[in-house]
Chain A
Amino acid sequence: DAGVIQSPRHEVTEMGQEVTLRCKPISGHNSLFWYRQTMMRGLELLIYFNNNVPIDDSGMPEDRFSAKMPNASFSTLKIQPSEPRDSAVYFCASSALGETQYFGPGTRLLVL
């Protein structure tokens, strides 16, 4: 069975550019989570969706970050404009309601 799929796996961009990260959750899972991981701050929840509806986006750092989930099988996290401090590993995770979260392999983002 395919797990959570994320793309791209690596992204290097210049400050000020727009970055779009993509996630395909496990089929049948109705909750989707976006996390960011850095050495300094560890793993932080940015936003999560339930049945494609954003429930809590209080972890989104600022207005430069936005996330969408247009359907049950796809979500995006967009950073516009990107800044060097956004460099991190971004994980997407999905779960069936109330059950274990399964993480994707992550996108390693480097903003120069």
Chain B
Amino acid sequence: RKEVEQDPGPFNVPEGATVAFNCTYSNSASQSFFWYRQDCRKEPKLLMSVYSSGNEDGRFTAQLNRASQYISLLIRDSKLSDSATYLCVVIPISSGSARQLTFGSGTQLTVLP
């Protein structure tokens, strides 16, 4: 079983739609959680952190369910510019002082006009 699993998609949604992605992780001791965004032929960039209490950044909402070991990302009122691959990222218990990220394989989103 992969450490971090995501539905690869693709998700094709019309502009203005609400779309949600889920991600499951296998290590129950995982410490920190993030969503990264990767545009086509570009590098991954941090979209948002995921906190236990849930957090919102504009049209984006991230939630964490430790009991079920999944995190989610909700995008409301989707824009054409939201088209990208969304990567779920988990940090296990640190074995060193650097923060080693484990990436999911990504979920591809295309927002259609």
Q: Is B100 positioned at the interface, with any CB of A under 8 Å from its CB?
A: yes
Interface of chain B, main secondary structure = loop
Contacting residues, chain B, for A100 (C-beta < 8 A): 46
Contact B97 A98 (CB under 8 A): yes
Q: Is A97 positioned at the interface, with any CB of B under 8 Å from its CB?
A: yes
Given the known inter-chain contacts A42-B105, A43-B87, A56-B95, please indicate yes or no for A104 contacting B43, CB distance below 8 A: yes
Contact B98 A55 (CB under 8 A): yes
Given the known inter-chain contacts A42-B104, A42-B105, please indicate yes or no for A98 contacting B99, CB distance below 8 A: yes
Contact A42 B101 (CB under 8 A): no
Q: Is B45 positioned at the interface, with any CB of A under 8 Å from its CB?
A: yes
Tell me the minimal C-beta distance from B111 to chain A in angstroms. 22
Contact A56 B96 (CB under 8 A): yes
Tell me the minimal C-beta distance from B39 to chain A in angstroms. 11
Contact A50 B87 (CB under 8 A): no
Q: Determine the distance from Cα of A42 to Cα of B85 in the docked complex, in whole angstroms.
A: 11
Q: Which of A42, A48, A97 contacts B100 (CB 8 A)?
A: A48
Contact A43 B46 (CB under 8 A): no
Q: Which chain B residues (47-91) contact chain A, with CB distance < 8 Å? A: 87
Q: Is A25 positioned at the interface, with any CB of B under 8 Å from its CB?
A: no
Given the known inter-chain contacts A100-B46, A103-B44, A105-B43, please indicate yes or no for A95 contacting B99, CB distance below 8 A: yes
Contacting residues, chain A, for B103 (C-beta < 8 A): 42-43
Contact B43 A103 (CB under 8 A): yes
Interchain residue pairs A-B with the least CB separation, the first 5: A103-B43, A42-B105, A31-B98, A43-B103, A55-B96
**A–B pairs, 21, beta carbons within 8 Å:** A31-B99, A33-B100, A42-B106, A43-B44, A43-B87, A45-B100, A45-B102, A50-B97, A50-B98, A55-B96, A55-B98, A56-B96, A91-B44, A95-B99, A97-B97, A97-B98, A101-B46, A101-B99, A101-B101, A103-B45, A104-B43
Interface residues in chain B, defined as those with a beta carbon under 8 Å from any beta carbon in chain A: 42-46, 87, 95-106
